[in-house]
A and B are shown apart, each in its own frame.
Chain A
């Protein structure tokens, strides 16, 4: 397994949809046709200048791209090591990177002549953004969300309802993201003739991984330009740190830097380690989970000896998922990216430190990435540039933060 140069990573799969051992299309027969239709449509439109113009128009004028790339001066001084920079992706309309994928899916659904769109959500951002984009583009929207997540991410649920989306609570299993994705896929099996489906991250059958990765790559497109503007060139020691749930923000944050030598541009993915003393986690890459099938794709996934998917635990609903994108499995095995985990407590501490020193309010997901940055920065030279993707705003975490930190 090797990464090829000059071909986008999303296209480096074989004819069965596998990146090395990962990905594919493990789906019921009924979904073969709609998946194929979507594939044909997407492959056509990504080469269509007018479609690209339309996408760029909405990214810029509606979502507010490009987002800021800024230095966190106070945090840098405090840690007294590497320079700490961040890309404030949470500036995007809606408050997170999920709006990029949601917008593209709605544009595709319109072109396909669909009137309805459905999607899954964990943290509620994917759902909020899909409901927002659906409203913008005149599609009726249903969002599947675990009952546990509905309780812990209320502000985003309020936003979905305000956008006239129906939230369908999912009570099966752990009542979190994994169950929401399953229920959403089941709904699509029954309604694929009239309804488009948006998968909220770089997971699912091959084409959903591709569309999402293609959409979030906007982040690194902007970043590449911003870094060159700022430093005149790509710094000799650049580390791009990103939290990894399904992997859409991290993949999008890294994509345009894929072919730089990893000694120059290192990718660090931070998974959710769960509570400090709990055996449960949401870090299949860090903790060596076995390969298996989840939601239509072969990937590293938390599972027991029988092949039952295991329950996860994380303070961050957006990272609370037992599997991970086949793209990240591939990046792990080819050693292009390095993966580690931060515990709930480390993420909370990072949140406190960042908000103490900076006027930035990263949600619990990127707080995991900040935790890693805070850990390694003091040991690194001053010419090392750490850039963290601040991919979500903590507004949605209001209740959890209040409970855990009294804020």
Chain B
């Protein structure tokens, strides 16, 4: 074979691609290949810079027998079949279901055994939660505690906080809420004004949180508050665990547009907290809350919370649907499958100890758009007059109403795209 040996790279390719068939030379060729590579690396680097990549794929490789783990959680779900099929299921709470999940060892999976956890790998937890979401299980009661509060307490919390809350979270008995948003601090979270004042008896909390999901079902709130008087923006903030039954707390329901009581206003009137209620380092609340948001935004719930509508559509369509419906199902399948690959890769990156901020934002944005479009695409093709009352029609209507919240909660679409743009070097 003619071969222009003009550049080191060509010699490499030549050795790599043509010399390997000669058995006895193979080891030599590989060795030469590597040696040549080191010699020529610097020249090659100048010649052809490695191409930019929009998304680096991390292999999803949980330890242990994944099929067996899936079978276990599916068997659990089969026992609770009557409770499944809930749309937007991770905001729908069912303490009985949460306790059963805890008893079966599916909560606090990544926490150590000393605090009641199960010392499993984060990707094993991922397998379990994607099964729960795909089945539309009512996981809302414990969702926030298991997803973000428990890992935060484990990492930054005092010994008292760990003892008091973690075992109960693992049993599915203690629920938590997120105290970030305030009337004046929505997307601009650094505008938080709720304050913590240090006194001889402990910390005194005053102010207000709003849009607090599940505050009325929660035992404790993990709140971001201003602990340093006169501080500005993201400096001087700290995180606190606030027991929801502490004197001085008032919870007022806010009914959402679907008629459900899901989020709340929470008022703090000089609420007294013990020293151990502060989480992590005084004044480091912003960095900790950012770590918390990485857990909040990177999970499969950002594309799987409407999966039950897709299954209802497939059920209703039957094995041989008309061409238009078949086409829609095909498109939805492609999008779902792609999102799952992206989500698994993001989870794997987080599990590898790296920061998947940009990848998680991409999955959230794409997942939100997918889920918001889903009920509208079903509506456009399937005849569902408001009098129709089967599973498909009910789920479609419920999700049409729930959908606007998807690209608001956990960071709005615009904020999320801003994070992606920063990753591209534009900000």
| A and B: interacting chains | no
A residues in contact (CB < 8 Å) with B: none
B residues in contact (CB < 8 Å) with A: none
